[in-house]
Amino acid sequence: MTIDPIQLTADLIRCESVTPNEGGALVLLDGLLTEAGFACTRVDRGETSNLFARWGDKDAPTLGFNGHTDVVPVGDIDAWTKDPFGGEISDGILWGRGATDMKSGVAAFAAAAIDYVTRNQPENGSIALAITGDEEGDATDGTVALLDWMAANGERMTDCLVGEPTCPETMGEMMKIGRRGSLTAYFTARGVQGHSAYPHRAKNPIPALAALVDQLARHSLDQGTSHFDPSTLAVTTFDTGNPATNVIPAECRATVNIRFNDAHTGAELIAWLDAKAAKVAEDFDIEIDTRATISGESFLTEPGAFVDLVAQAVEAETGVTPALSTSGGTSDARFIQAHCPVVEFGLVGKTMHKVDEHVPVEQITQLKRVYFRIIETYFA
């Protein structure tokens, strides 16, 4: 049984699976994987559809693949030159929402896995596919739900590869062995409203909050670590919501986002933010409330056997030695890292989330070959 990953990607693109809609994408994959001998289970939670598929004994060493079939909205439909859900192939290019991020990646690893299990029968090995419909959304009921279900049902992956686009410009040039953590902090400064002509009768929260965000923005969190660039802090909004020029407002708000490396934990950074806010509040004699959310902790899969295996497979099929990177935003690997060693490798991601998202079809075929070689070598 041989699956064409290009055709499968096109078929998946035709499934209008904008988060949280399943759109038929997981139904399509379920059918193909079941026919190939995978035991498939829908792990839906809330409005999110998820699929877990295993071939082989769950007690055997298990190579896992993770990806998502949900996509971001198309945006301005009139700006597209191709049907975003048409799956059109023209001049060696496949067009449509999800062509890069990441229906092509899911198609490539599903096709590679199906091809492998229909040709080989390793005595002590298993393949697991954990596919979610909630990566582009809140990500609370997607891969997290799959991992919760796996824990409750005695399912486990020994190592996992996430098929997100990882290459900036050239196929094969980069794989991810870790990701920075992400934290967003929301500050609300409260004073006393008053007339701007009589500032002594008011308590202006704006200078206090301005001082706080200035201190945070000028602070150097670290100088980087062995596998990570320096952590960053960005002020993303500062707002009083005050339309009047003669009123000192009683309240103003600011938000900062921190992308942090493995020199920090989210809890440590929140404690630092709380302490800075408390000091400024004391200095200016106002109240500052702080609320923070952690999207994910930083993590690193140390270079070793699994990282080497993936890197060697990439180089063998692309002729390019991949850089071992921790750059970029977050992915569902941030959840998997607590379950097993995880790395990411996928296509060139230049058009992801853009109007007229597209991918050269040769990259999809190449990606399937990389994944097939990884599976083959893993069970050799």
- Is the pLDDT assigned to residue 138 strictly greater than 90? no
> Domain 181-296, what fold?
Alpha-Beta Plaits (3.30.70)
User: Model confidence at 80, in pLDDT bands (50, 70, 90)?
Assistant: very high
Amino acid 288: pLDDT: 98
User: Model confidence at 148, in pLDDT bands (50, 70, 90)?
Assistant: very high
Residue predicted with more confidence, 296 or 95: 95
- Is the pLDDT assigned to residue 333 strictly greater than 90? yes
- Is the pLDDT assigned to residue 354 strictly greater than 90? yes
Amino acid 234: pLDDT: 98
Amino acid 191: pLDDT: 97
Mean pLDDT (the chain, rounded) = 96
Which ranges in the chain are annotated with CATH 3.30.70.360? Answer: 181-296
Which ranges in the chain are annotated with CATH 3.40.630.10? Answer: 5-179+298-378
Give the mean pLDDT of 48-71. 96
User: Model confidence at 164, in pLDDT bands (50, 70, 90)?
Assistant: very high
User: Catalytic residues, which ones?
Assistant: 70, 135
Q: Within 13 A of 41's CA, how many CA atoms are on the CB side?
A: 14
Three-class DSSP labels, the chain:
CCCCHHHHHHHHHCCCCECCCCCCHHHHHHHHHHHCCCEEEECCECCECEEEEEECCCCCCEEEEEEECCECCCCCHHHCCCCCCCCCEECCEEECCCCCCCHHHHHHHHHHHHHHHHHCCCCCCEEEEEEECCCCCCCCCCHHHHHHHHHHCCCCCCEEEECCCCECCCCCCEEECEECEEEEEEEEEECECEECCCHHHCECHHHHHHHHHHHHHHCCCCCCCCCCCCCEEEEEEEECCCCCCCEECCEEEEEEEEEECCCCCHHHHHHHHHHHHHHHHHHHCCEEEEEEEEEECCEECCCCHHHHHHHHHHHHHHCCCCEEECCCCCCCHHHHCCCCCEEECCCECCCCCCCCCEEEHHHHHHHHHHHHHHHHHHCC
- The CATH code of domain 5-179+298-378 reads 3.40.630.10
| Residue of 283, 336, 326 whose CA lies nearest to 303 | 326
Distance CA 208, CA 259 (A): 24
Give the mean pLDDT of 269-294. 98
- Interval 305-328: pLDDT, tens: 999 999 999 999 999 999 999 998
Residues 6+ apart with CB under 8 A from 95: 82, 83, 86, 87, 88, 89, 356, 357, 358
- Is the pLDDT assigned to residue 1 strictly greater than 80? no
Distance CA 64, CA 53 (A): 10
- How many other C-beta atoms are found inside a 10 Å radius of the C-beta of residue 247? 14
- How many other C-beta atoms are found inside a 10 Å radius of the C-beta of residue 285? 9
- Is the pLDDT assigned to residue 122 strictly greater than 90? no
Q: How many residues does the chain have?
A: 380
Q: Within 13 A of 60's CA, how many CA atoms are on the CB side?
A: 16
- Is the pLDDT assigned to residue 242 strictly greater than 80? yes
- Is the pLDDT assigned to residue 103 strictly greater than 80? yes
Amino acid 123: pLDDT: 74
